Amino acid sequence: MLSTMGRVPLTLTHFLDRAGQLFGNVEIVSRMPDKSLHRTNYAAFHRRARQLAQALQHAGLKAGDRVATLMWNHYAHFEAYFGVIASGGVLHTLNLRLAPDEIAWIANHARDRFLIVDDVLLPLLAKFRDQVAFERVIVVSLTGAPVAAPDTDYEAFLASAPHNPTWTYPDMHEDDAVAMCYTSGTTGRPKGVTYSHRSQVLHSLAQCLPDAIGISGRDVILPVVPMFHANAWGVPYSAAMLGIKMVFPGPHLHPDDLLPLFESEQVTISCGVPTIWLGMVQILDARAGRYRFSPQLRLTVGGSAVPEALIRGFAKHGIEVIQGWGMTETSPLATIAKVKQTQGDVDDDVRFATHASQGYPIPLVDLRIVADDGVQPWDGQAVGEIQVRGPWITAAYHEVPVAEESFTADGWLRTGDVAAVTPDGFVRITDRTKDLIKSGGEWISSVDLENAIMGHPAVAEAAVVAVPHPKWAERPLAVVVAKAGQTVTADALRAHLAPLFAKWAIPDAFAFVDAIPRTSTGKFLKTKLRDQYRDWDWDAAARGDATPPIAA
């Protein structure tokens, strides 16, 4: 028997129209390069996104054409998120933190036709413009400076749209591509992930569930995560769907800039990588009582494992930290770390430990753990690679043959993360496959060591990598940044780790540095650390030097 339900396509243009029709007076706030605040609302957003769509069509855009953006988080980027889609095009957010040559390679691989760029990023564009073939460059003048020929001013481009009040969206199928992002490319070339209307509609609905992130129309959202990183974790789509007040930080991402914005706009939810929040909690500790935040303020964190010490640190200030796990390929949310109703009432220790896990799968995401001997049980002990599938999880890369190392024959995404899952479904990632340390035949988790080291009160950040060892093949080396004004020694860290790890798992070597190199998305750049320390002088380490010289 067939259903009698109507077959209405799941498209993001529904979110665009809903925002304009139901939430026209709700504010959209952007911090500009000069730190002034630009204020608009959803009524203007709806009108201008539709103007952008018509202007793109008038300029020759065809269905499926890629429109690139090179932009910070602000109102015009939000308009592009929906205007490009409404035109029938595919939004391709370029990562402005990559090297110019890499940005050019990605733009060429995606075959981007048009580019929308902030005027403050024109110097970056100039470094690779002769390597790409954008047919048209549209410049958003955030500073108010005139746009030089031959580029097109964004406002003039919007005004070029034919005045047609009866204009309708082109025919769209829910499986049509709407956006694409490229992976960070830490191993090999970046790979393009293409998202559909359907995938992003379902992802938005799922992440707003109370037992997921729990986003509501009464929230005020500030996405610290860049809009060029995994669609800003889907927040722009969810915000338009619910008509939520949006607060964009522009290029100002230092905690000293974010904290006053949290206070003045009474932000209730923000999302970003752990490195952002590590710096912020240190400022809050130093300036206790300085800020008056919304009592509903909570922080969503992803991108890398969150130390339990960070979660406890924010709890002292009445701020909840919600960890999610995912990747560009999963849109990105796949799991959420919240206490389940089946756990009943729990004390703080259990609650914080739960929040420090990677959480359990959100609805519509299937997850399994696979090792060499097959699918592993959810018993909290068996370890293997996380594999996932679901309606917003990619099954292929843009113009890359489906490869065994990325996808299984039965259609699961191989994430490269190694984990165990408890009987209650909570994921505990032990490492990336490429970051595990095998020492004397034993596996050591760099993630577990990092989180434990960052639990020391004098440590700000720590990254652990494998370095070659003449006897044990590999040994863990910890690269440590101390908190401002504090000192920490290798002996103090070994004593801190001793109750938590077997002796053979504790690093023999510690390097104390001012900063740890990062990827464009804020993760520790372990490839660079491994290269930097691969010739570690173990003889000097044996003599007790905390940071022995690297051998020639």
Question: Please, how many CA atoms are within 13 Å of residue 124, restricted to the half-sphere of its CB?
Answer: 20
pLDDT exceeding 90 applies to what percent of the chain? 74
Work out the average pLDDT over 123-141. Answer: 97
pLDDT digits (tens, 9 = 90+) for 5-56: 888 999 999 999 999 999 999 999 999 999 999 999 999 999 999 999 999 9
**Distant-in-sequence, close-in-space partners of 463: CB < 8 Å, separation ≥ 6:** 446, 450, 478, 479, 516, 524, 526, 529
Work out the average pLDDT over 246-267. Answer: 97
* pLDDT beyond 60 at 181: yes
Residue of 35, 143, 438, 442 with catalytic role: 438
pLDDT of residue 544: 56
Respond yes or no: is residue 329 known to be catalytic: yes
Residue of 79, 102, 308, 329 with catalytic role: 329
* pLDDT beyond 80 at 146: yes
pLDDT digits (tens, 9 = 90+) for 375-412: 999 999 998 999 999 999 999 999 988 777 899 999 99
Cα-flanking dihedrals φ and ψ of residue 351, to 5°? -65, -45
The residue among 512 and 522 whose pLDDT is bigger is 512
pLDDT of residue 275: 80
Mode of pairing for the β-strands spanning 320-326 and 360-361 = unpaired
* Range in 8-12, 183-187, 376-380, 443-447 with the lowest mean pLDDT: 183-187
Respond yes or no: is residue 443 known to be catalytic: yes
Respond yes or no: is residue 320 known to be catalytic: no
Measured from the Cβ of residue 139, the count of other Cβ atoms closer than 10 Å reads 24
Read off the pLDDT band of 503 (50, 70, 90): confident
pLDDT exceeding 70 applies to what percent of the chain? 96
Work out the average pLDDT over 152-170. Answer: 94
pLDDT of residue 545: 54
- The answer to whether residues 462 and 278 touch, using CB atoms and an 8 Å cutoff, is no
Cα-flanking dihedrals φ and ψ of residue 535, to 5°? -105, 35
* pLDDT beyond 60 at 60: yes
Q: Which residues pair with 196 in a beta bridge?
A: 177
Mode of pairing for the β-strands spanning 333-337 and 360-361 = antiparallel
pLDDT digits (tens, 9 = 90+) for 349-364: 999 999 999 999 999 9
Residue of 62, 127, 443, 504 with catalytic role: 443
Cα-Cα end-to-end distance for the chain: 75
pLDDT of residue 121: 98
- The answer to whether residues 537 and 547 touch, using CB atoms and an 8 Å cutoff, is no
SS (H, E, C) 31-78: ECCCCCEEEEEHHHHHHHHHHHHHHHHHCCCCCCCEEEEECCECHHHH
Residue of 183, 328, 394, 521 with catalytic role: 183
* pLDDT beyond 80 at 550: no
